[in-house]
Amino acid sequence: MHECMHSEEPLKNAILYLENVGGEWEMGNGGLTIGNALKFARHDFLNELQVILLYIDLGKIPEAKKKILDVTEGMRQLAMLEGLGLPATEMWISTFDWVYGAFSKTVICKITPGVRAVEDGLVVAYLKQVFQDAEASMDPAAEYHAEFIVNASSTSWQIDISVSGGPMDTKLPSPKVIGDFKVEEKVSTNQWTFTISGQ
């Protein structure tokens, strides 16, 4: 189950983005279509509702309230991504756990809007390559969790991604950067920390 749910606003933005790129967001060998995006969003929403209803049925009202607050906060954090000013990167993060099924995710944002100098498409192309390579080298039986911490001022931005949950020893080094941004990474036995930043 995903740690945070996709709010209506990021979903609308995802649909607009998908329409602008011809209706497909690459996903493995196929594509994440608008129909698939809606299906994933409905599935996530129903999963969250079922957990809340289960807590209520079991008389665990504090847990149900906490789940509602957690889901609401997840929506708020995803909605804040819009302020990053990198719409393709926003959509990549928003749909990350749909595209990379081995991962669940949480998103934490502290963003001051600004004009970004980096080419958004190059950031996404790089992130896609990194995670395609990572997914190919990770244990297919393990469940991984990715935490995205997105910080941005009016003049700079940084995305810290921490992946945990399974062995990381076999992860390949990240590819060479092509674009006006910086990358740092650290791999240990059970944790992979990846930072991408720019202006």
Decide if 2 is inside a domain: no
Decide if 18 is inside a domain: yes
Share of the chain above pLDDT 70, in %: 82
CATH number (domain holding residue 98): 3.30.565.30
Q: Give the domain range for residue 24.
A: 8-198
For residues 41 and 32, is the Cβ–Cβ distance under 8 A? no
Please say if the pLDDT value at position 128 is more than 60. Answer: yes
The per-residue pLDDT for 23 is 41
Give 11-66 pLDDT, tens digit per residue. 444 444 444 444 444 444 346 777 887 888 888 888 889 999 999 999 999 999 99
Cα 94 to Cα 11: distance, rounded to the nearest angstrom: 8
Decide if 189 is inside a domain: yes
The per-residue pLDDT for 31 is 60
- The rounded mean pLDDT for the chain is 83
Decide if 182 is inside a domain: yes
Kindly state the average pLDDT of the residues 70-95.
92
Count: domains in the chain: 1
pLDDT class of 84 with cuts at 50, 70, 90: very high
Tokens of 171: 């992860």
Kindly state the average pLDDT of the residues 71-93.
92
Decide if 53 is inside a domain: yes
Decide if 3 is inside a domain: no
Tokens of 129: 């390559």
Burial of 100 (0-12, 13-18, 19+ CB in 10 A): buried
> Going by DSSP bridges, is the β-strand pair 103-111/30-33 parallel, antiparallel, or unpaired?
unpaired
Give 134-169 pLDDT, tens digit per residue. 888 888 888 899 999 999 999 999 999 999 988 776
